């Protein structure tokens, strides 16, 4: 770990100013950046501790929505009664990730900004365009069981590892950020980016910008939701494939469908056109398969992760079944309905 300057500003304005400096990085819960600094995968010159900023609350917003403070721990968010009642999909996605200890420390803002788990990104003796632009991508042609099958580039096939973000994508969350030019709001789908020619950038946050809150509009899907995660052991592992689904159903008809995939791309993966195939239709396995195919159009494995394409297809179909039946996947019961 390198030596760095440290500041713990008390105001968002001060924090933004500090974060605009070259080499500045934010720390909140620390669960990701400290890990990466120990590996030498992150080497900040200045670490800006955000924990004193007034972003520790979950607030009500108009129309039954919630504004999740960036510094609220993941666990507190998941266990907040308002969250678990109004956005059980989000609560369950959070609890499907990491461990109780990590969820107690990790913050909402930090969850959005956590970096990939790609082996090559972590290992400084190996090439990685995300960590060391221009050095190449070790995962292409290498060990890539956990890597992306959608939205990849010749430069990078890393995935975004979050579970929480998959639910936030499905819930059409908005990310509130504060920067040198004041506040702005980023639609969740625009927050993370695909690797393209610049895998070093995970998201669209500009220098000096701080995530202050994640806003959720009310979305009543009753029991017609699920977060289904497949992984290499039954807990405490990153997703091979996960899916967040929220449906609004009227009688026998799906009114609206939201489907986001995790573990398959550089960002939570949503295909609005595929979701639209479900609108106005009665639930049906053949239809689900068509939707899955549309979501996975263009999906391509890189060797070890070839199985993810078929697995994702099956997970989508199964999860749609769970959501339609109103039997969401629970965290402790490992049987998959």
Question: Where in 70-109 is the site for other proteins (CB under 8 A)?
Answer: 73, 75, 79, 98-102, 104-105
Instruction: Round to whole Å and give the CA distance between 140 and 35.
Output: 24
Q: Does 4 participate in binding other proteins (rule CB under 8 A)?
A: yes
| Number of chain positions touching other proteins (CB under 8 A) | 74
Would you mind telling me the total number of residues written for the chain in this entry?
A: 337
Q: Does 210 participate in binding other proteins (rule CB under 8 A)?
A: no
81, 125, 182, 298: residue in contact with other proteins (rule CB under 8 A)? 125
Q: Please choose, from the candidates 2, 33, 7, the residue with its C-alpha nearest in 3D space to the C-alpha of residue 20.
A: 7
Instruction: Round to whole Å and give the CA distance between 118 and 98.
Output: 16
CB 49 → other proteins: shortest distance, Å? 5
Q: Does 157 participate in binding other proteins (rule CB under 8 A)?
A: no
The answer to whether 188 and 173 have CB atoms below 8 angstroms apart is yes
CB 259 → other proteins: shortest distance, Å? 17
CB 135 → other proteins: shortest distance, Å? 12
Q: Does 3 participate in binding other proteins (rule CB under 8 A)?
A: yes
The structure tokens listed for 70 are 């960036």
Q: Does 318 participate in binding other proteins (rule CB under 8 A)?
A: yes
Smaller CB separation from other proteins, 165 or 186: 165
Q: Does 182 participate in binding other proteins (rule CB under 8 A)?
A: no
Instruction: Round to whole Å and give the CA distance between 297 and 312.
Output: 11
Q: Does 286 participate in binding other proteins (rule CB under 8 A)?
A: no
Q: How far is CA 243 from CA 47, 224, 262, in A?
A: 34, 14, 6
Q: How do 46-49 and 5-7 pair as beta strands?
A: parallel
Q: Does 129 participate in binding other proteins (rule CB under 8 A)?
A: no
Q: Does 236 participate in binding other proteins (rule CB under 8 A)?
A: yes
Smaller CB separation from other proteins, 279 or 336: 336
Say which DSSP state 196 is in: T
Q: How far is CA 148 from CA 80, 239, 276, in A?
A: 32, 11, 24
Q: Please choose, from the candidates 277, 94, 238, 70, the residue with its C-alpha nearest in 3D space to the C-alpha of residue 171.
A: 94
List the end-to-end C-alpha distance of the chain, in Å, as a whole number. Answer: 45
188, 227, 238, 288: residue in contact with other proteins (rule CB under 8 A)? 238
CB 74 → other proteins: shortest distance, Å? 12
Instruction: Round to whole Å and give the CA distance between 128 and 137.
Output: 5
Rama region for 151: left / alpha / beta (φ>0; ψ in -120 to 50; rest): left
DSSP string, 34-86: HHHHHHTS---SEEEE-TTSS---EEEEGGGEEEEETTSBHHHHHH-HHHHHH
CB 93 → other proteins: shortest distance, Å? 15
CB 144 → other proteins: shortest distance, Å? 9
87, 88, 110, 120: residue in contact with other proteins (rule CB under 8 A)? 120
CB 70 → other proteins: shortest distance, Å? 15
What is the SS3 assignment for 115? coil
CB 11 → other proteins: shortest distance, Å? 9
Q: Does 51 participate in binding other proteins (rule CB under 8 A)?
A: yes
Q: Does 207 participate in binding other proteins (rule CB under 8 A)?
A: no
Q: Does 126 participate in binding other proteins (rule CB under 8 A)?
A: yes
- Stretches 54-62, 148-156, 281-289, 304-312: which one binds other proteins (CB under 8 A)? 304-312
Smaller CB separation from other proteins, 120 or 219: 120
Contact pattern for other proteins over residues 262 through 281, marking x by CB under 8 A:
--------------------
């Amino acid at each position: 770990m390198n030596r760095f300057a440290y500041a713990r500003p008390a105001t968002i304005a001060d924090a933004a100013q500090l974060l605009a400096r070259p080499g500045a990085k934010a720390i909140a819960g620390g669960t990701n950046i400290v890990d990466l600094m120990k590996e030498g995968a992150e080497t900040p010159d200045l670490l800006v501790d955000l924990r004193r900023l007034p972003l520790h609350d979950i607030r009500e917003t108009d129309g039954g929505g919630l504004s999740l403070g960036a510094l609220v721990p993941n666990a507190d968010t998941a266990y907040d009664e308002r969250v678990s009642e109004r956005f059980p999909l989000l609560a369950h996605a959070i609890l499907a990730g990491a461990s109780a200890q990590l969820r107690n420390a990790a913050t909402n803002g930090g969850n959005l900004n956590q970096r990939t788990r790609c082996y090559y990104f972590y290992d400084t003796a190996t090439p990685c365009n995300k960590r060391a632009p221009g050095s190449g991508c070790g995962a292409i042609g290498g060990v890539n069981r956990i890597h992306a099958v959608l939205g990849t580039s010749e430069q990078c096939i890393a995935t975004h590892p979050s579970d929480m973000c998959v639910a936030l994508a499905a819930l059409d969350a908005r990310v509130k950020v504060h920067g040198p030019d004041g506040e702005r709001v980023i639609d969740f789908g625009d927050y993370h980016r695909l690797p393209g020619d610049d895998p070093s950038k995970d998201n669209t946050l500009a220098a000096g910008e701080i995530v202050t809150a994640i806003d959720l509009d009310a979305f009543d899907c009753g029991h017609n939701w699920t977060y289904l995660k497949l992984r290499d052991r039954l807990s405490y592992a990153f997703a091979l494939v996960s899916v967040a689904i929220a449906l609004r159903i009227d009688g026998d008809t799906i009114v609206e469908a939201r489907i986001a995939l995790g573990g398959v791309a550089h960002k939570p993966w949503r295909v609005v056109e595929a979701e639209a195939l479900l609108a106005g239709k009665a639930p049906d396995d053949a239809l689900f398969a068509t939707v899955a195919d549309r979501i996975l159009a263009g999906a391509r494995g890189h060797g070890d992760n070839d199985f993810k394409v078929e697995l994702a297809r099956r997970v989508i179909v199964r999860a749609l079944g769970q959501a339609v039946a109103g039997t969401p996947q629970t965290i402790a019961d490992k049987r998959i309905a």
